[in-house]
Amino acid sequence: MPGPILLIGTLDTKGDEYAFVRDRIRAAGHDVFVMDLGIAGDPAFPPDVAAAEVAEAGGVSLAELRARGDRGHAVDAMLAGARTLVPRLYAEGRFSGVLGLGGGGGTSMITAAMRTLPVGVPKVMVSTMASGDVRPYVDIKDITMMYSVIDIAGLNPISRRILANAAGAICGMVEQTLDEAPGRPLLAATMFGVTTPCVTAVRERLEASGYDVVVFHATGSGGRAMEALIDDGYIAGVVDLTTTEWCDEVVGGVLNAGPDRLRAAARAGIPQVVSVGALDMVNFGGFDTVPERFRGRNLYRHNPSVTLMRTTPEECREIALRIAERLNEATGPVTVILPLRGVSMIDAPGKPFHDPDADRVLFDTLRNNLDSRIRVMELDAHINDPGFAEAAAGEMLRLMAARAAAPAGKD
C-alpha cells in the first residue's frame, strides 16, 4: 500500500469536514497524516503537525499571530510555514498524496504547499474558488481543483457527497501504479502551432532513437513548467526550438514565461539544442485586447481568441540579446540552429509575417553575442522544412551521445 495521505487545512474552522474525510480515507484502507493550519482556536481533533509548529516554520509564534489579529499576516505566515514543512515531510516519506479543503485563505495556503511537491504526487484541493480563475492556485503543478459547490461550512447531504468524492479521488490516485520500462532518457521540446511540423518530426526521430520526448506548448506556463521539471531532475536534454515566450517577455504580450526562461537547463548543465521558433510574434487575446499603442502594427488574427503581432527589427535585437545572455550562462553543451528562410509558419514568402530584415537582425545579434564555446549552425532552410528538423534531431543525438561517452564530470 502507498504511504499515508496528508490532510492539510484549518482544523479550528473546518474540523468536522476534515474528520469526515479522514474517516472516509481510513475506511478505504489508507492511513492519514494531518497538518493543522488553523490559528483562531483549538483543533477539532489532534493533528500530527500542530498549527504552532507550522507558525514557527513560518518565522513567528502562534501566540503572536493570535495576539496581532491580522488575518492577512496570519495567512502569509502559515503559508510560509506549510511551504517549508510539506516538502520536507514528503522527502522523509511521511505521505504519498495530499488533500485539502478550503475557502479563499485556505486554498491559498494549501495550494502553495502543494506546489512545493514534485509533479506526479497526487494533489486534490476542494475549494470554493475552483469555478473561477485557478491559475494563482495551480500555476504549473498538477493540482486537481474540485469545486465545493456550497461553502465548506458544516456537514449536510450535499457537502458529505462532495467530500466523500474527494476522499475517493485521493485514495484512487495514490493507489495507481504504472508498469513502465525504465531506462529511456527523457528529453524536452518546445512547440507552438506555427512550429508543429518541425517539432513533430524531431520528436518522432528522437523517439525512434531510444528517447522519450515530452513536448511543452510555449504559452508561458508551458515554458515555466519545462523549467521546473528540468530543475526537478526529470529532463536529460532540451530541444528548445520554440523560444517565442521571449517575445512576450520583452515586448509585453500575454504568454511570457518570465525572465528566467532558459536558466534551468543552463544550471543543470544538460545538452541544449536551441532555435528561434516563432520569434516573429507577440501574443495577445482577441483583437479588442491589443493595447492601443500597438493597433497600427502588423497584426494577424490567429483565431477569435488570439491576435499575433509581428516583432520589429528593434524588438528582435533585444530578444536575441536576452536569449544570448541566458545561453551564455550554460554549464553544459549548447548548439543554436538558425533557419535562415523563416522562423514560423507565417514567416515565409507571401505570408503575413515575412520580414527578412527583422529576421536578419535576430540572426546577426545572436551570432555576435553568443559565447564562442556555443556552436552556431546556420541552415538555408525554413524552420518547418524536413531538413531543418533532421538537423536539429541529429544535433541533439550527437550531444547526447557525447555526454554519455564523456568521463564523469565532463561533457
Residue 27 in 3-state DSSP? helix
Q: Has residue 256 got a pLDDT over 80?
A: yes
Domain boundaries defined on the chain: 5-175, 186-405
**Domain 5-175 superfamily per CATH:** Uncharacterised protein family UPF0261, NN domain (3.40.50.12020)
Strand ordering across the sheet containing 299-303: 281-284, 306-310, 299-303
Instruction: pLDDT band for 409, please (50, 70, 90 cuts).
Output: low
Question: What pLDDT does 303 receive?
Answer: 87
Mean pLDDT for the chain?
Answer: 95
> Hey, which residues does 124 pair with through a beta bridge?
99, 144
Res 288: pLDDT: 93
- Which pLDDT score, from 0 to 100, does residue 71 have? 86
SS3 content of the chain, % helix, strand, coil (to 5): 45, 15, 40
The pLDDT score that the predictor gives to residue 332 is: 96
Is the pLDDT at 151 greater than 90, yes or no? yes
Fold category of 186-405 in CATH: Rossmann fold (3.40.50)
Q: Write the burial class of residue 149 (CB in 10 Å: 0-12 exposed, 13-18 middle, 19+ buried).
A: middle
Q: In the 8-state DSSP scheme, what is residue 88?
A: H
Percent of all residues in the chain with a pLDDT value above 90, rounded to a whole number: 92
| Buried residues in 288-308 as b, exposed as e (16+ CB within 10 A) | eebeeebeeebbeeeeeebbb
pLDDT band at 12 (very low <50, low <70, confident <90, very high): very high
> Are domains 5-175 and 186-405 of this chain identical in fold?
yes
Dihedral of the CA atoms 137, 246, 338, 240 (nearest 10)? -20
Overall average pLDDT of the 302-316 stretch: 95
Examine the pLDDT at 410 and tell me if it is beyond 80.
no
Q: Which residues pair with 145 in a beta bridge?
A: 125
Output the pTM of the full model.
Answer: 0.84
Q: Answer yes or no: is pLDDT of 411 > 60.
A: no
DSSP-derived letter for residue 49 is B
